[in-house]
Amino acid sequence: MRTNALLTSVAIWTSALAQQETVRYQDPETGITFASITHANGASYRVALPINSTSSDAVLQIVAPKEFQWCGLAWGGHMTNNPLSVSWTTGATSGQKAIVSNRMAYSYYAVPQQYDGAEHTYLKGTTSNDTHWQVTARCQGCTRWSSADGDIDITTVSETVFAYACSSYAPDTPNSNTSQFNIHEQFGIWNHNLDLGRSESFGDWIRNNPYEASVEV
Ligand code: HEM
């Protein structure tokens, strides 16, 4: 199996407890204010939440340098038993240039499976340019879940542990979010200050930023 081959052939993994801090970041394209972190590898992970959350709603933005073919966010701060938002560039020069996939991993030795407990809806700001690709999406189901880890709800906390993983190897079928992909070369964990991305404007942000695949940036 190709995944197992890569497990042995990828010699260098990097793992780090990130030193970077979460900051408040207003996305100029959508107006959404995120709690954002940019890691040393240049990839940014941004989350916005309703001010008083009564649901599992969030907006996620992942911005990755083009050297990475996929990067994912683990909402529970480790690989297994929590929602994974795995995103990648489709390589398309028009239309849908980046994609996001709902996954959950139940082991470290298999491709994370499709996860029906979460649903992503693309928003404006899902695109790529000469240097980066990015996904901006609403996720319903990423902030509350039940798994072997228990019943988890991160909407009630000010700060939570997130994790990321990135790879320079493209998924097998880049234009499909059900594609197989291989193990990451990098991963890390960090504390994410969710309060910086909480707002009463959350509903307006979703309403005002419908996805337009043809928009060029
Ligand atoms: C084919 C897909 C994948 C494979 C085969 C894979 C495999 C592995 C393996 C073997 C480890 C090392 C475990 C250890 O050292 O104890 C690991 C760690 C890790 N992986 Fe993956 N992985 C995959 C995809 C992902 C994805 C999509 C994410 C996140 C979006 C992710 C996040 C992590 C993290 C954060 C760790 C560090 C250990 C932890 O905190 O759980 N992995 N992975």
Q: What is the pLDDT of residues 163-208, one digit of tens each?
A: 999 999 999 999 999 999 999 999 999 999 999 999 999 999 999 9
The reply to whether ligand 1 has any atom less than 6 angstroms from the CB of 18 is no
Whether the per-residue pLDDT at 104 is higher than 50: the answer is yes
Whether the per-residue pLDDT at 4 is higher than 60: the answer is no
Are 135 and 87 in contact by the 8 Å Cβ rule? The answer is yes
Token duo for residue 125: 């700001």
- Which of left, alpha, beta for 33 (phi over 0: left; psi -120 to 50: alpha)? beta
The reply to whether ligand 1 has any atom less than 6 angstroms from the CB of 112 is yes
Q: Report the chain's mean pLDDT, rounded to a whole number.
A: 91
DSSP-assigned letter for residue 142: S
pLDDT score for 213? 74
Q: State phi, psi for 5 to the nearest 5 degrees.
A: -60, -40
Compute the distance from residue 210 Cα to the ligand 1 centre, in Å: 32
The reply to whether ligand 1 has any atom less than 6 angstroms from the CB of 108 is yes
Question: In CATH, which superfamily holds the domain spanning 2-208?
Answer: Cellobiose dehydrogenase, cytochrome domain (2.60.40.1210)
Q: Which of 165, 188, 204, 213 is nearest to 59 (CA)?
A: 204
**Most distant pair of Cα atoms in the chain: their distance:** 48
Q: Which atom of ligand 1 is nearest to the CA of 112?
A: 2
List Cβ neighbours of 37 (8 Å cut-off, separation of 6 or more).
18, 20, 21, 22, 23, 44, 45, 46, 190, 192
**Domain ranges (residues) in the chain:** 2-208
Mutate to test the pocket of ligand 1, among 6, 13, 79, 135 (most ligand atoms within 8 A of CB): 79
| Alpha-carbon distances of 95 from 10, 58, 131, 148, rounded to whole Å | 33, 24, 18, 38
The residue whose CA is least distant from atom 23 of ligand 1 is 183
pLDDT score for 212? 84
pLDDT score for 41? 97
β-pairing, 186-193 vs 84-89, is unpaired
Confidence band of 12 (pLDDT split at 50, 70, 90): very low
The reply to whether ligand 1 has any atom less than 6 angstroms from the CB of 84 is yes
The reply to whether ligand 1 has any atom less than 6 angstroms from the CB of 88 is no
pLDDT score for 135? 98
Percentage of the chain lying above the pLDDT 90 cut: 86
Quote the CA–CA distance of 127 and 92 in Å, as a whole number.
10
Quote the CA–CA distance of 144 and 133 in Å, as a whole number.
27
Confidence band of 19 (pLDDT split at 50, 70, 90): low
The reply to whether ligand 1 has any atom less than 6 angstroms from the CB of 184 is yes
